[in-house]
Chains A and B, each alone.
Chain A
């Protein structure tokens, strides 16, 4: 079945550091790929998405490119802020069946 593997966490960075959170996937079809963010005590929020190969999703300074050849969707941000501290989930969604499969999540802590 489908699966998503995220880099092991947690990740601790200083403010303005460069962020990369790795995500690779296994899927039988051509899924859509997502990054979700969950701030402490809050619900799940869509951060960005990409629906086909070579698409780049971007939002709030975060970017991720759908790489079919490496089955990856790594999340990057050039300069993190303390307010980016949260749990980040990589996920894929089957086009036909509709259900989503999530990675384990990566906890990011940004220190001033």
Chain B
């Protein structure tokens, strides 16, 4: 099985600040994915991070709020900007093969 390492595992942030989440995967992949899980909800795809090009955002998510970097084929960062309490969620990164998806343990963000 794949190894996906996310940092930090949890954080408490002040509103108006930003949090950058790092994701390291154990093998090179073209696409990495960032998901959000709001409290008591399912996982929603934020964006697809492609190496060498801009991320592709899903409806309802914008680059200014969720800037993503993808400097190489095994690493990506997601920044959640201008935090508000509504951003309190678990953020997960993921990579996939042809038939399977692998998820990190998630970053639990609480905005106060």
Contact = CB atoms under 8 A, between A and B. Distances in A.
B64 interface: no
Interface string A10-35: 00000000000000000000001010
Interface stretch (B14-22, B41-49, B72-80, B81-89): B41-49
Nearest to B106: A43
B103 A44 contact: yes
A98 B33 contact: yes
Contacts of A73: none
B94 A89 contact: no
For the residues of A in contact with B, the DSSP-based class is: strand
Interface residues of A, number: 20
Contacts, number: 55
Nearest to B48: A99
B42 A98 contact: no
Interface string A81-104: 000000001010101011111111
A34 B101 CA distance: 9
Of the listed residues B42, B92, B99, the one surrounded by the most CB atoms of chain A closer than 10 A to its CB is B42
A100 B33 contact: yes
Interface in B22-49: 31, 33, 35, 41-45, 48
Contacts of A105: 41-42
